[in-house]
A and B are shown apart, each in its own frame.
Chain A
Amino acid sequence: MALAALGVSARALRSRSWLLGTWQTQIRDTHQRASLLSFWELIPMRAEPLRKKKKVDPKKDQAVKDRLKKRIRRLEKASQELIPIEDFITPVRLLDKARQRPPVELPFEESERRALLLKKWSLYKHQEHEKERDAIRTMLKSQQEALQELQLMSPELHAEATKRDLSLFPFEREGPDYTPPVSNYQPPEGRYHDITKVYTQVEFKR
């Protein structure tokens, strides 16, 4: 009974104080309100209830990170994909049997002629190689002698002559063609579409 009375009185007090509280807030910011009696404007009716901070978030983030790391580790362990060498891969259309030539049977004279020609050729190439070798030897000898003379003449000039020439390499030159360049050549019109396949090798580094 007493408890109940206490409870009632406490509730009454609370409600009164609550009403008083809101009334006090009403009075406090009357200068801000549009009209004096606007009560419903005070209470924010459209707001959502405040969201609580999720305690599970850091755990989820950690789990995601772990999954990614596992995936990266697996990729690293797997051997790297090598860039295919297109010259070594025979295109399928060339494995057709219809493409093969019938085998040629050479007559005796032809095979003899070929054997003889190959022998003459090997002799010719041997002689050519010897000539080239001798020429290079004489050139080198001539250079060595010149450097010796220079050394006798003046050691400083010799030292400068034996220094490395850094502007010499990279040395690029276009080789001789079959016909000389035509001075007023007009190349045909058109666009150049480069369709070479470019492969990139991705390195997974830790």
Chain B
Amino acid sequence: MAAPIRQSLFGVAKGRWRFEGLWAGSLGSRSLALAAAPSISGSPWRLLGAVCLQRPPLVSKPLTPLQEEMAALLQQIEVERSLYSDHELRALDEAQQLAKKKADLYDEEGDEQNVLLTQDMEDAWEQKFLQFKPGARITEADKKNDRTSLHRKLDRNLVLLVKEKLGDQDVWMLPQAEWQPGETLRGTAERTLATLSENNLEAKFLGNAPCGHYKFKFPQAMRTESSLGAKIFFFKALLVTGDFSQPRKKGQRVWVCKEELGDYLRPKYLAQVRRFLLDL
């Protein structure tokens, strides 16, 4: 008797959910209509899977003054304890010959002009090195502080944040989606990524287990018997290649490093997210 009623409720609710749209979310908003039935039968918590997509750094971090001093010291010690290399021996021999020439004051059959001095070789090498133009470590996007571009802060991990509309509020969060029965949570996270990027992004998920979670209860007005709150499970992924195609909706996506997360995320959400993000 109870089972068919529950099933019918489920069906009705699900229909309404589909009508609402992608994520009839319920974070902190009163005016939202009641959303879908709980994903796990019997549990009052709704289940969401989120992906923490990180772009790993392309460039090494600049050294602190102490690190620079230490690096210089180590280099000095290495030179002091080493043997002379071929190049150095050659330089020493030439210096000796030059001194001898000056002391003796007679020409040696004009052989000296054809021989390449070590100084000449070093100059030539220096010139060749200056011809190469390496890529810039601080890019334009850094200077403009354009947070939607991937080419900023090349020495840090960048995390993807999206802005979702929940009721009448715009909330920044990690991309998430509702869990559907029949798939694993990691599958939910992968589906989020696929729908968000329209399959342009290639990411490597780091394992089947979630790295963190965040649970919250809906405000009193929204609670029902079946949905008390929601639990979000985060999955880590590393960006391999690909980028978003031209942003259809500007201001909806942002690549952000750990310090800048505070500008976007809510305090409690932020506290949970910061726990599993490694600070470089």
Contact = CB atoms under 8 A, between A and B. Distances in A.
A168 B58 CA distance: 21
Contacts of A149: 213, 215, 231, 233
Given A121-B70, A142-B272, A176-B60, A165 B207 contact: yes
B40 A154 contact: yes
Interface of A is mostly: helix
Interface in B228-280: 231, 233-234, 238, 272, 275-276, 278-279
B186 interface: yes
A100 B184 contact: no
Nearest to B215: A149
Contacts of A141: 275
A104 interface: yes
Contacts of B215: 149
Interface in B107-165: 133-137, 139, 154-155
Interface stretch (B1-9, B24-32, B82-90, B167-175): B82-90
Which of A120, A141, A146, A178 has the most chain B CB atoms closer than 10 A to its own CB? A146
Contacts of A147: 209-210
A2 B99 CA distance: 126
Given A147-B210, A161-B208, A138 B275 contact: yes
A114 B184 contact: no
Interface stretch (A6-14, A75-83, A179-187): A179-187
B206 A168 contact: yes
A142 B211 contact: yes
B193 interface: no
Interface in A75-122: 94, 98-101, 104, 114, 117, 120-121
B51 to A, nearest CB: 14
Interface in A151-205: 153-154, 157, 160-165, 168, 171, 173, 176-182
A168 B206 CA distance: 7
Contact of A146 (B45, B205, B233): B233
Contacts of B69: 117
A144 to B, nearest CB: 10
A60 B45 CA distance: 90
Nearest to B238: A173
A153 B155 CA distance: 38
Nearest to A95: B83
A37 B274 CA distance: 119
A180 B213 contact: no
Contacts of A162: 208-209
Interface in B77-108: 80, 82-84, 89
Nearest to A182: B135
A124 interface: yes
B184 A161 contact: yes
Given A153-B45, A154-B43, A182-B133, A98 B89 contact: yes
A139 interface: yes
A146 B273 CA distance: 12
A163 B208 contact: yes
A177 B59 contact: yes
A155 B259 CA distance: 36
A162 B184 CA distance: 11
A176 B58 contact: yes
A150 B211 contact: no
Nearest to A104: B80
A1 to B, nearest CB: 112
A69 B29 CA distance: 90
A100 B210 contact: no
Contacts of A182: 133-135
B15 interface: no
B53 interface: no
8 contacts: A98-B89, A100-B83, A160-B185, A168-B207, A178-B59, A179-B135, A180-B135, A181-B58
A-B complex: 7 closest residue pairs judged by Cβ atoms = A146-B213, A179-B134, A180-B135, A142-B275, A99-B83, A142-B212, A146-B210
Given A149-B231, A160-B208, 8 more contacts: A99-B84, A101-B83, A117-B70, A147-B210, A153-B231, A165-B208, A179-B136, A180-B154
